[in-house]
Chain A
Amino acid sequence: MTTQTRLDSEAAAPEPQAPRTPARRRRRITPAKVLIWAGLILSTLIFIYPFIWLISASFKPRGEVFDNKIIPETFTFDNYLNVWQEAPMALWLWNTVLVTVLAAVTVTVSSAMVAWGFAYFRFRGRNLLFGVVLATMMLPGAVTMIPQFLIWNSLGMVDTLTPLWAQNLFGSAFYIFLLRQFFLGLPRELFDAAKIDGANNWTIFTRIAMPLCKPALIITLLFEFQAIWTDLMRPLIYLRDSDNFTVPRGLKALLDQYGFGGEWHWEIVVTASVITTVPMIILFFLGQRHFVQGIATTGSKG
């Protein structure tokens, strides 16, 4: 319990900033403050403007996509109607949702199990084995990429969605590391008490440890959801038939066809980009607190 409340308060901490207020109450405008706010507003504009540009371009007719105007001269909704006909966008979205949900759920459950195995039990060779887990994080993906492809190829799974998520059944080093840190923060007495009450290892894990680590499990889910949704390389390697594409792979195909492929229908590319990005923006607003906390903790503990 203590860890959970600590984490929650940590996540909420950046906003209030209690101790520093007395000096700030006076609200004197100093040159330094003007500079800081100018910097903040300018950089916010730079970060947000590409989104505004993209969204506004998606409401422009073909000829005006590149006019750099914030408010479209001729406002049109046609792109959002046409894009579904020009490409199997709905199917791509469905494929992506399927892969992403499967990948995120399996990696969270399997990584939590493995992390618990390393955090709770004491056995010979534990540190050595955990060292191997950490070492695999250092291995560039390029080394294992080709043999992994050959494995899926020999199983006849190329051009199916399976290779995009099935490896997540076996946990992922980064999340094992992350979740183990959280499990180690739980008080051991809790589990010993449950054991005396007759709980077995599995119940201790599912009924006590997992619920207490909910924030960390949510972080894992969100991180993996984002990673899989946005991935291009694996879909490029594994998917051939356009009916099997995920949205990023489909977006790349649209760019190749409508962008510099000669047809020059950038309004379709722009609109498809918006459709690909919006779910991630929604995901961020749904889990903002967890994203921020997850990034801050991995950064300070890595």
Chain B
Amino acid sequence: MASTQVNAPGTLGDGRAARARRIGRRRETRAALLFISPWIIGFLIFTAWPIIYSAYLSLTDYDVINDPNYVGLENYEELFRDPDVALALWNTFFFTVIQVPVYVIVSLALALLLDKAGRASGFFRTAFFLPKMTPPVAVGILLLLLFNGQSGLINEALSWFGIDGPAWTTDPDWVKPGLILMSLWSVGSSVIILLAALRNVPQELYDSARVDGANWWQQTRKITVPMISGALFFIFIVNTIAGFQTFTEAYTAFFGSGNTTYSNDAALFYVIYLFRQAFEFLNMGYASAMAWLLFVIIMIFTAIQIKVSRRFVYYEGEQR
């Protein structure tokens, strides 16, 4: 309110009012910059400069010990020749393209169940969320143990139904499916987001649909899903971006100094390969070029998803 008083015209002589306003504004700007300064400093040192330096490094050969050696676009050309980049991209696309839709569908199914749990929903919500609290390293270890081909719990459970489970952790064809299944264990936070969205759907919509004789499936398809499409899209996009950068679980389970037993080509995801190039082989220039390729890929995918979502996503009280 104070600022509107100062801004009110005619109360003071015009020149004095303008001066007071200018001083007030300058003071406010100075105060604001003081509050924002931590972020500005951090942004300049840890984001802006790294972006510029990373772009420069991507044009060099750099092993930390010797000075960067300018090589032009050679790293980028190498990206297209390197069979491991192609492999890592294939693994990452395969993982993301399958994992994300499955993940969204499973979260939706669980949220719908949870919505019907009534008074017990708090209990089930906790049960669904706890895995999300587990450190990803421990999830990677659990993957090795539970999905073990000979003695793992998963294959034992499958054998009850007469199914001879595959060697999830050693058979290259089954490594990614195993990782995808394991990742479903951590759907908890998506379930909570979707549950919150479900609770915001007006009850009247279901009431009138029921009067019109719509069954559960019709209600879900025609009311629930469209009404929570905003939250669904949010989960979809966040998980796609995370999927492209998947690292910890797969790295824990299939890479590292101790791993001599597995051929781990099937788990070589893009960020794992990038990490190894940078910090194990010390090819900082090449790894920087890899990072920029990843950036471009993520941008393209996000742009496509946003564009497609315009046609499907409904936002309540949408202004555009």
Q: A259-B141, A269-B141 are in contact. Are A47 and B153 (CB under 8 A)?
A: no
B263 CB within 8 Å of chain A: no
Scan residues 274-302 of chain A and give those whose CB is less than 8 A from a CB of chain B. 276-277, 280-281, 283-284, 288, 291-292, 295-296, 298-300, 302
Residues of B within 8 A of A39 (CB): 113
Query: Are A142 and B245 touching (Cβ within 8 A)?
Result: yes
**A235 and chain B: residue at smallest CB distance:** B137
Q: Which of A20, A132, A143, A296 has the most CB of B within 10 A?
A: A143
B258 touches which of A13, A146, A236, A259 (Cβ 8 Å): A259
Distance between Cα atoms of A296 and B190 in the complex (Å): 9
B104 sits at the interface (CB 8 A):
no
Give the nearest-CB partner of B151 in chain A. Answer: A66
B196 touches A296 (CB 8 A): yes
User: Is B84 located at the chain interface by the 8 A CB criterion?
Assistant: no
Smallest CB separation, A167 vs chain B (Å):
5
Which A residues lie within 8 Å of B153 (CB)?
Answer: 49, 53, 68
In the assembled complex, A29 has its CB within 8 A of some CB on chain B: no
B317 at the interface (CB under 8 A from A): no
A299 lies within 8 A of B196 (CB): yes
Name B's interface SS.
Answer: helix
- Chain A, interface size category, equals 35 or more
Complex: how many Å from CA A237 to CA B244? 20
| A281: nearest chain-B partner, CB-CB | B133
Chain A positions 162 through 187: 1 when the CB is less than 8 Å from some CB of chain B, otherwise 0 = 00000101110000100000000000
Give bound CA distance, A118 to B32, whole Å.
7
Tell whether, in the assembled complex, residue A170 and residue B38 are in contact, meaning their CB atoms are under 8 Å apart.
yes
CA distance A146 to B117 in the complex (A): 47
Instruction: Report B233 CB to chain A, min CB distance, Å.
Output: 10
Does B266 interact with chain A (Cβ within 8 Å)? no
Bound Cα distance A226, B120 (Å)? 26
Indicate if the CB atoms of B127 and A48 lie closer than 8 Å: yes
Q: Which residues of B contact A198 (CB under 8 A)?
A: none
Contact with B along A100-123 (1 / 0, CB 8 A): 000000000010011011101111
Q: Are A24 and B258 in contact (CB under 8 A)?
A: no
Tally of chain B residues near chain A (CB < 8 A): 110
Which residues of A are found within 8 Å of B38, using beta-carbon distances?
110, 113-114, 169-171
Contact yes or no, B128 A123, CB < 8 A? no
Residues of B close to A44: CB separation below 8 A: 124, 127-128
B309 at the A interface (CB under 8 A): no
Cβ of B295 and Cβ of A140 under 8 Å apart?
yes
Contacts known (A170-B39, A256-B256, A257-B258); A40 close to B117, Cβ less than 8 A:
yes
Q: How many whole Å from B238's CB to the nearest CB in chain A? A: 8
When the two chains form their complex, are residues A252 and B256 in contact, meaning their CB atoms are under 8 A apart?
yes
> Which residues from 26 to 68 on chain A have a C-beta closer than 8 Å to any C-beta of chain B?
32, 36, 39-40, 43-44, 47-51, 53-54, 57, 66-68
**Contact digits for A2-20, partner B, Cβ 8 Å, 1 yes 0 no:** 0000000000011101011
Is B114 in contact with chain A by the CB < 8 A criterion?
yes
Interface status of A229 (Cβ within 8 A of chain B): yes
The 8 Å CB contact of A151, one of B45, B193, B290, is B45
Q: In the complex, what residues of A have CB within 8 A of residue B251's CB? A: 232, 236
* B184 CB to nearest A CB, Å: 9
Decide yes or no whether B252 CB sits under 8 A from chain A.
Answer: yes
Are B57 and A252 in touch, CB under 8 angstroms? Answer: no
Complex: A293 Cα to B312 Cα, angstroms: 27
B136 interface hit (Cβ, 8 Å): yes
Partner of B43, one of A136, A229, A295: A136
Q: Mark B1-20, 1 if CB is under 8 A from A, else 0.
A: 11100000000000000000
With A170-B43, A255-B140 known, 13 other A-B pairs at CB within 8 A are A50-B185, A117-B35, A121-B29, A122-B3, A122-B28, A142-B290, A143-B54, A143-B291, A176-B39, A232-B137, A233-B247, A276-B138, A280-B133
Identify 13 residue pairs between A and B in the complex whose beta-carbon atoms are under 8 Å apart, listed by A's number. A44-B124, A68-B153, A114-B38, A136-B43, A138-B299, A140-B244, A146-B291, A150-B53, A151-B50, A192-B2, A233-B248, A256-B258, A296-B192
